[in-house]
A and B are shown apart, each in its own frame.
Chain A
Amino acid sequence: ERGRETVRCDCVTGEGSWRSLTSSSLSPQLFARLEARRCLKDIEPRLFPAHGGPEHGDVVELHGPEGTGKTELLYHLLCRCVMPTAAGGLEVEVIFVDTDYSLDMLRLVSILDRRLTHSSGAASAAAPELALRSCLSRLLVVHCSSSSQLVLTLHLLETSFLSRPGLALLLIDSISAFYWLDRSEGGGSTTKQEEKLSKCSLLLARLLRDYRITVFATCHAIRRNFAGLPASSDFARPHLCRSWQRLVKHRLLCSREQTVDSMSDSVKGDKGERRRQVFGVQYTSPSLPSQRSSSFYVSDGGVQSEF
């Protein structure tokens, strides 16, 4: 009985000291996170309707089957964020949660490299390696291999959110990676099957509310687009759990469009005439009626706008 009493005492004092400690050391950070966290509304105006870019704490889902340019689009956004303002970037920090083990660092670096040399010209070409390094240092990569690990990872990342006011973007590639694993582990009950992703979503919702970070997550389509129907049809129907769907404020449906024969003068004539794959992105929002379609193609330097 006595021992219990002391434990409780300890607990109370421990708590008290923690409170005073945090309130003094946290307030500058609190200030930072409310004021300085960069809004990513203008991350890529061509993808979103006018003045409809993602606000603080919004979740954007990139949905589409394989080979529709989701990953390239993600790299494009990543580059835009980590590049210095002088080179046309936003100069903010990014966390990349790699659940598919799909991050292709070499590809990312080659895109980044091209854009840096393109924007700087001859003036600061003296230290391209240095500029590249400083861009890459704004990126944090974390791998996870199961949805329970994803929950733990998000908890772990809370400390990063707290300590880095420059952090503005969280990329998850992909949120649907553990879909089948969870389905199978959950047995017959849908609640059980969706439990883990629900947990992730709820936690993410809290983190976004508290730290006002913007999230882009890719989601693999699990149904084939049989008849080549437009993106509004069945294949694009969301299949992840309800709590995730509630979180999503913007959806970008990625698809493959017709190949266009590009003339040698419109491209920087590397091999003359070559068929070019054009990718389409259709913006929808679950809450707003606004829509927008855009298209792009992929070159050595990453995503290029079609129009």
Chain B
Amino acid sequence: MVVLREGMCPGLDEDLVRDLRNADIKTVEDLVSSDTEKLAQKCSVSYKALLAIRRVLLAQHTAFPVSGADLYEELLSSTAILSSGNPSLDKLLDSGFYTGELTELSGGPGSGKSQVCFAASVHISHHLKQSVVFVDTTGGLTAGRLLQMLEAETGSREEQMEALQRIHVFRLFDVFSLLDCLYGLRAGILQQASVGGGGGSVKAVIVDSVSAVIAPVLGGKQNEGMSLMTQVGGVLKTIAKDFNIAALVTNHVTRSLSGEVQPGLGMSWSHVPRTRILLERVEAASAGCSSLRSATLIKSSRQPCNIRVEFDLQRWSRSKRGSEEMRTPEEMDSA
């Protein structure tokens, strides 16, 4: 809803705005929806002028229809696939996180959600030399852990510091700050080609975890929480699409009535992520804590669902070093 103001478009002056208001036309919507012919008579303004104003307002406040062919062309040149650094996870994701899409990792406590996020951001900043925005809503991110992961990748202190510099951390603990941060990113930082001194544009936005700030506002018979959740989903998707960024969020899990483990945040959120992965612990035969985790693809538009892979959190980086290939964001092929 946009309120009509003078100077919004040529021809819309103070007098006309007042006349329109007297005719009960207060917003752009009202003006566009009303019968231009009758309105012109009512406000004693020329029909042509009012029609021109209507046309300009429409163009200003709607997105222009784009031809599918152009959209595809643009996508071919702009889409990148960011490898997560882990071959088995990449297999699940059809070679990595796609820019322009929202991917969700869900899992119970200790299922490795955050570790996957850390490892992915380290990989993207160190190997792909791209910047990462890491929104930490649980206080679980420590620079020490990131450094530890980097040390496994490279011995050079300089390279480690460079990589750390490319990871931009935002720490916030409620949904309003999250929205504030994301809208801020959309309006400011992401508009510039690169952030900070580290070089490389922002290619990934990670929110760990999104459910930690959304779940507390849900529940009861109120709509506001649902609305906030829709807004978080909306802004993440627009950021991903408009700036060609891979968005990654983490979510908790609940059990359905039949006892099945499923991602949290309910039905309305389930439509938001393009790809969903469920992480679980693999119970080892020997006692003690195992670093083995399994990942199951539960929603995807590219791969058949329910593919399951296992990986070792401890050998995240080493398994990569074994296979010599250095993944870079590949250009999409048309196949």
Contacts and interface: CB of A to CB of B under 8 A. Distances in A.
A143 B64 CA distance: 8
A136 B79 CA distance: 18
Interface string B33-46: 10001001100111
A135 B335 CA distance: 16
A7 interface: yes
Q: Which of B29, B64, B65, B101 has most chain A Cβ within 10 Å? A: B65
Q: Which of B58, B63, B230, B335 has most chain A Cβ within 10 Å? A: B63
Interface in B257-304: 257-258, 266-268, 270-271, 274, 298-299, 301-302, 304
Contact of B301 (A8, A107, A133, A136): A107
A65 B267 CA distance: 7
Interface string A177-193: 11011011100000000
Contact of B227 (A137, A142, A183): A183
A140 B66 contact: yes
A152 B61 contact: yes
Interface stretch (B171-179, B234-242, B322-330): B234-242
A141 B73 CA distance: 13
A294 interface: no
15 contacts: A7-B44, A18-B47, A66-B270, A101-B234, A107-B302, A136-B68, A140-B67, A148-B1, A148-B29, A152-B62, A155-B58, A156-B58, A157-B65, A220-B271, A227-B257
A14 B46 contact: yes
A261 interface: no
Contacts, number: 168
Contacts of B1: 148
B61 A149 contact: yes
Nearest to A220: B271
B335 A110 contact: yes
Interface of B: 1-2, 27-29, 32-33, 37, 40-41, 44-48, 58-59, 61-69, 71-72, 75, 79, 98, 101, 223-224, 226-227, 229-231, 234, 237-238, 240-241, 256-258, 266-268, 270-271, 274, 298-299, 301-302, 304-306, 332, 334-335
Main secondary structure of the interface of A (DSSP, over half): helix
A156 B29 CA distance: 12
Contacts of A105: 68, 71-72, 75
